[in-house]
Amino acid sequence: MTRADPRLRLAVLGGKATAWASRSLGMGGGTTLPGDVARAIDPRILRKLGASPRLGIILVTGTNGKTTTSALLRQIAAAAGWRTGGNQSGSNLIYGLTAATVAQADLRGRMELDWLVLEVDELSAALAAGELRPGILVVLNAFRDQLDRSFEVDQVAARLGEAVAALPEGAVAVLNSDDPRIAALEGGPNASHFGIEDRELDRGGLPESADRPVCPRCGGSLRFDAVYYGQCGDYHCPACGWSRPSPAVRVTRLLTAGLDHMELNLAGPGGGAGPLPVPLAGAHNAANVAAAAAAALAMGASWEQIRRGLEEFRPAFGRSQVVPWRQSQVRLLLAKNPAGMEASLETVLGAGSGPVLGLALNDGIADGTDISWIWDVEFERLASGGPRWVVLSGRRAAELELRLRYAGLDGSRLLLRPGAEEALDELAARAAPGLPAPALLTYTAMLAWHRAVVGTGGAQPFWTEGG
Amino acid sequence: MTGSRSLRLGVLYPREMNLYGDRGNVLALVRRAALRGVELEVTTLGLDGGDPEEIQSCSGFLIGGGQDLDQLALAHDLVTRKGPALREQVSSGAPLLAVCAGYQLLGDHYRTAAGDLIPGLGILPMRTEAGRRRLVGNILVAASPGLGLANPLLVGFENHSGRTILDPGLPPLGRVVRGGGNDGDSGAEGAVLGPVIGTYLHGPLLPKNPALADWWLFTAADRTGTTIERSQLDDTAEEAARREAIRITLSGSRSRGYRLLGRRPRIRRTG
């Protein structure tokens, strides 16, 4: 960055003015348009802001867990006393990253931050890594997600590999040992792996929805000795001997208690921490915690700071968030793809969460317009147990009903309520007293339900959360 | 076998070729068979199985979509190990329904973007070439009346970069009402040859197109002399999901109409 860069200043001003105008006009959070404007004025704006002296940049990417892991990292950084910013709104394409970065720059184009923690879309990660030149890149996983946009999982993994390759020299790639496609990425000598090493969490085989990865070295079939979530677990290739790289940061024990709470032990360089109470649930979230801890160690945080950050952490938008509705409560869980839906379903059923469950499926661009993935989710497990009623909602509620009927659920258990408010009404009416009714929703369905709740004064608009 | 009340479905490569919820096709066949008084036994014919005897014991077949890498690994097994028995079965009237990559593998070959030739089974006289742009979106197809489907309007989702070119004389499954189809241009979608249907429609295909599921079951029953209930089933839930999908497809902006006006259909680019 030059001393006085009029174009950069104009771009920052333009971006900030757009954000202000967009909010004042009630157009929403202004989470991407300011980025459009700023990049139109100065296409090199991210390179320039990213090069601010003393600013460390962390990118978090992968199909599932980006928002949670970024939020965990920001909380740990705050616990360490570092000035931290990011894209809390979850706007994670290049324009959203630009908007979030501009929002945190001053009018002279300077970033008065120690760390900028940005979650970034899998397909935008290479571009973002090239422009922002991050010190740390966290790669969580590659699942089947919104297939009409991301295409095939192997291609997504290849794009994540490009992001790792785009890292500047000396940067740290934090990689998931448990996901074979991520473990196989060439992280170089600075790579730091994280993973789960608690065999109690083995679900005993790959779920139907998992994308069977082949051995990245020889193309042979991988053998799984344990599966924790999706295609993530402990594996090796019987043909060529390639096996899961040993993680530096490990979840050695996980105790899940309920839908929004777990205790885990972490081990890693310099010791570890535990038992750590974290307000999250499920093996996939334990992996997110390990990822955040591995990145935090690379930032220079101590185990004590990691422990404090995790304790003070509160879940991000729609990640197991309880909202009030008509004298009752509903727990909203984001489930945007088979791996996420499977994980949330497992968590909900494991917690024994009452007589009614909500499912909402939209097919907007942000959800993925191809909803065929719901046929891969093992809803069959709802046939023999689980909640007595299932409320089906969203633009594709009828498709959900068909799926659940084919999963063996009797029609009398299925309540078709396409609209957000009527679905919330039904859940509230049937929820057990004092036990929030859980609902699993795709992204825009989550927004719609959130809008309904905000309309009744029950929650803050999402873009103000954490910001 | 006359009078028997069971059929056997052979699912080819269910692990590798199940990218787009194709498992729903199996569920639909099992469910409708049961409602029609027939027990449908499901046999998987994977990379590590599917001997000729196993293939010969099946009444009909399904093959789904997969990733490019999988397709390469499978093509060899399909053509050399399973090919002869499959061809024999199909020529004696066993239904074979192939979706997306499975459909492509039934042709003469698939030419990848890199120029490599993946040989196909050659059951359908056609070939597929990698296209520059991907055809992605909801799709609506008017199935050929020759199939005699109770409801010939097929609805699904397509996502493919391959362009399939049918040899002259090979009829398509139907005409595209909305969407891309075989090549995004000709208006043809899928292919039919006797008891073989290939299509780009997933979604999955059969739950929302029960008429096509019945086509498979009746074809399999005819061939094996199995008694099957042929009256109309209560398809209220299927119809509701169909209506929902058709409404959303028709409200999309991609339409054949644009092509008649000389404009290219709006198709999202590959990443």
User: Is the CB of A406 less than 8 angstroms away from the CB of B136?
Assistant: no
Angle at B199 between CA B31 and CA B177, to 5 degrees: 105
pLDDT of residue A438: 95
Angle at A321 between CA A316 and CA A325, to 5 degrees: 140
- Please count the structural domains in chain A: 2
pLDDT of residue A144: 77
On the 0-12 / 13-18 / 19+ scale of CB atoms within 10 A, A26 is: exposed
Residue A195 resides in a domain: no
**Partner A contacted by B27 (CB < 8 A):** yes
Residue A234 resides in a domain: no
Q: Does residue A308 share a domain with residue A159?
A: yes
Measuring CA to CA, how many Å separate A201 from each of A91, A274, A343, B125?
A: 32, 17, 12, 50
DSSP symbols for chain B = -TT--EEEEEEESTTTS-SSSTHHHHHHHHHHHHHTT-EEEEEEE-TT---HHHHHT-SEEEE----HHHHHHHHHIIIIIIHHHHHHHHHTT--EEEETHHHHHTSSEEE-TT-PEEE---SSSEEEEEEEEEEEEEEEEEE-GGG--SS-EEEEEEEEEEEEEEPTT---SEEEEES-TTTSSS-EE-EEETTEEEES-BSSHHHH-HHHHHHHHHHHHHHHT-----SPP--HHHHHHHHHHHHHHHHSS--HHHHHTT-----PPP-
**Average of per-residue pLDDT across B35-52:** 93
Asked if pLDDT for residue A213 goes beyond 60, the answer is yes
Q: Does residue A392 share a domain with residue A272?
A: no
Range of the domain at A104: 6-171+263-312
Q: Does residue A440 share a domain with residue A359?
A: yes
The residues facing A271 across adjacent strands are A268
- Which residue in B has a C-alpha nearest to residue A379's C-alpha? B24
- Which residue in A has a C-alpha nearest to residue B205's C-alpha? A372
Q: Does residue A94 share a domain with residue A75?
A: yes
pLDDT of residue A150: 47
Cβ contact B150:B214 at 8 Å: yes
pLDDT of residue A30: 65
Residue A374 resides in a domain: yes
Residue B175 resides in a domain: yes
pLDDT of residue B254: 44
Distance (Å) from the alpha carbon of B265 to chain A's nearest alpha carbon: 17
pLDDT of residue B269: 31
Is-catalytic flag, B58?
Answer: no
**Average of per-residue pLDDT across A255-261:** 78
From B58, B109, B160, B202, active-site residue: B202
Asked if pLDDT for residue B2 goes beyond 50, the answer is no
**Average of per-residue pLDDT across B31-41:** 97
A425-443 pLDDT tens trace: 999 999 999 899 999 999 9
Distance (Å) from the alpha carbon of B91 to chain A's nearest alpha carbon: 32
Between B263 and B61, the more confident residue is B61
Angle at A307 between CA A90 and CA A339, to 5 degrees: 40
Between A278 and A318, the more confident residue is A278
**Partner B contacted by A411 (CB < 8 A):** yes
pLDDT of residue A1: 45
**Partner A contacted by B31 (CB < 8 A):** yes
Amino acid residing at A146: Q
- Cα separation of B198 and A293, whole Å? 49
Q: Does residue A153 share a domain with residue A119?
A: yes
Mean of pLDDT over chain B: 88
Amino acid residing at A227: V
**Partner A contacted by B235 (CB < 8 A):** no
Helix (H) or strand (E) holding A255: strand A249-256
Q: Does residue A402 share a domain with residue A286?
A: no
- Cα separation of B45 and A292, whole Å? 42
Asked if pLDDT for residue B49 goes beyond 90, the answer is no
- Cα separation of B268 and A369, whole Å? 12
From chain B, pick out residues whose CB is under 8 angstroms from the CB of A398: 237, 240-241, 243-244
pLDDT of residue B263: 35
Cβ contact A432:A354 at 8 Å: yes
Range of the domain at B87: 6-260
Q: Which CATH number characterizes residue A276's domain?
A: 3.40.1190.10
User: Is the CB of A152 less than 8 angstroms away from the CB of B23?
Assistant: no
Q: Does residue A459 share a domain with residue A369?
A: yes
pLDDT of residue A2: 47
A401-422 pLDDT tens trace: 999 999 999 999 999 999 999 9
Q: Which residues of A115-148 are buried (b: 16+ CB within 10 A; e: fewer)?
A: bbbbbbbbbbbbbbbbbbbbbbbbbbbbbbbbbb
Asked if pLDDT for residue B156 goes beyond 50, the answer is yes
Q: Which CATH number characterizes residue B93's domain?
A: 3.40.50.880
A298-308 pLDDT tens trace: 999 999 999 99
User: Is the CB of A152 less than 8 angstroms away from the CB of B138?
Assistant: no
Residue B271 resides in a domain: no
A325-381 pLDDT tens trace: 998 999 999 898 888 898 889 888 887 778 999 999 999 988 889 999 999 899 999
**Average of per-residue pLDDT across A379-384:** 92
A22-36 pLDDT tens trace: 888 766 666 788 999
pLDDT of residue A149: 53
Cβ contact A381:A408 at 8 Å: no
**Partner B contacted by A145 (CB < 8 A):** no
Cβ contact A244:A177 at 8 Å: yes
Residue B208 resides in a domain: yes
User: Is the CB of B21 less than 8 angstroms away from the CB of A376?
Assistant: yes
User: Is the CB of B157 less than 8 angstroms away from the CB of A372?
Assistant: yes
**Average of per-residue pLDDT across B108-124:** 91
Lowest mean pLDDT among A1-10, A87-96, B10-19, B232-241: A1-10
From chain A, pick out residues whose CB is under 8 angstroms from the CB of B136: 148, 370
User: pLDDT confidence of A317, banded at 50, 70, 90?
Assistant: low
- Which residue in the set A153, A395, A402 is minimally distant from B207, CB to CB? A402
Structure tokens at B59: 């009444």
- Cα separation of A195 and A463, whole Å? 31
**Average of per-residue pLDDT across A218-240:** 93
- Cα separation of B120 and B76, whole Å? 8
- Please count the structural domains in chain B: 1
Q: What are phi and psi of A263, to 5 degrees?
A: -125, 135
Q: Does residue A409 share a domain with residue A287?
A: no
Asked if pLDDT for residue A184 goes beyond 60, the answer is yes
Measuring CA to CA, how many Å separate A130 from each of A103, A137, A166, A168, B270?
A: 21, 12, 6, 8, 21
Asked if pLDDT for residue B228 goes beyond 60, the answer is yes
**Partner B contacted by A158 (CB < 8 A):** no
Q: Does residue A329 share a domain with residue A280?
A: no
* Ranges of H-type helices in A219-324: 283-299, 303-312
**Partner A contacted by B109 (CB < 8 A):** no
**Partner A contacted by B79 (CB < 8 A):** no
The residues facing A117 across adjacent strands are A58, A86
On the 0-12 / 13-18 / 19+ scale of CB atoms within 10 A, B266 is: exposed
**Average of per-residue pLDDT across B152-163:** 93
**Average of per-residue pLDDT across A41-66:** 94
Cβ contact A405:A413 at 8 Å: no
pLDDT of residue B1: 44
Residue A230 resides in a domain: no
- Which residue in the set B18, B207, B245 is minimally distant from A406, CB to CB? B207
Is-catalytic flag, B76?
Answer: no
Torsion sign across C-alpha atoms A276, A277, A282, A288: negative
pLDDT of residue A446: 93
Percent of chain A with pLDDT over 70: 94
User: pLDDT confidence of B241, banded at 50, 70, 90?
Assistant: very high
What does DSSP assign to residue A281? -
- Which residue in the set B15, B159, B207 is minimally distant from A370, CB to CB? B159
Structure tokens at A230: 């999706």
**Partner B contacted by A239 (CB < 8 A):** no
User: pLDDT confidence of A3, banded at 50, 70, 90?
Assistant: low
- Which residue in the set B67, B137, B240 is minimally distant from A152, CB to CB? B67
Q: What are phi and psi of B230, to 5 degrees?
A: -110, 5
Torsion of CA B212, B216, B217, B219, to 10 degrees: 120
DSSP symbols for A25-84 = TT----SSHHHHHHHHH-TTHHHHHHT-TT-EEEEEESSSSHHHHHHHHHHHHHHTT--E
From chain B, pick out residues whose CB is under 8 angstroms from the CB of A406: 24, 27-28, 31, 207
Q: Does residue A272 share a domain with residue A149?
A: yes
pLDDT of residue A303: 96
Asked if pLDDT for residue B264 goes beyond 60, the answer is no
- Cα separation of A404 and A392, whole Å? 10
Q: Give the number of A-B residue pairs with CB atoms closer than 8 Å.
A: 97
Residue B266 resides in a domain: no
- Which residue in the set B20, B73, B137 is minimally distant from A369, CB to CB? B137
Residue B269 resides in a domain: no
DSSP symbols for A265-280 = EEEETTEEEEEEEES-
Structure tokens at A233: 């677990």
Asked if pLDDT for residue B58 goes beyond 70, the answer is yes
Angle at A330 between CA A276 and CA A393, to 5 degrees: 125
Q: Which CATH number characterizes residue A370's domain?
A: 3.90.190.20
**Rg (chain A; Cα; Å):** 22
- Top mean-pLDDT range of A85-94, A218-227, A234-243: A234-243
**Partner A contacted by B240 (CB < 8 A):** yes
Q: How many other CB atoms are found less than 10 A from the CB of residue A220?
A: 14
- Cα separation of A287 and B85, whole Å? 46
Residue B270 resides in a domain: no
Last residue of a domain, one of A272, A290, A312: A312
Residue A237 resides in a domain: no
Last residue of a domain, one of A312, A335, A369: A312
Asked if pLDDT for residue B205 goes beyond 80, the answer is yes
Q: Does residue A423 share a domain with residue A341?
A: yes
pLDDT of residue A220: 85
User: pLDDT confidence of A9, banded at 50, 70, 90?
Assistant: very high
Cβ contact A393:A427 at 8 Å: no
Residue A452 resides in a domain: yes
Percent of chain B with pLDDT over 70: 89
Cβ contact B90:B59 at 8 Å: no
Question: A185 by DSSP, 3-state: which?
Answer: coil
Between A350 and A13, the more confident residue is A13
Torsion sign across C-alpha atoms B221, B46, B67, B126: negative
Residue A198 resides in a domain: no
Mean of pLDDT over chain A: 90
pLDDT of residue A340: 86
A112-153 pLDDT tens trace: 999 999 999 999 999 999 999 999 999 999 987 655 554 678
**Partner A contacted by B28 (CB < 8 A):** yes
From chain B, pick out residues whose CB is under 8 angstroms from the CB of A404: none
Q: How many residues does chain A have?
A: 467
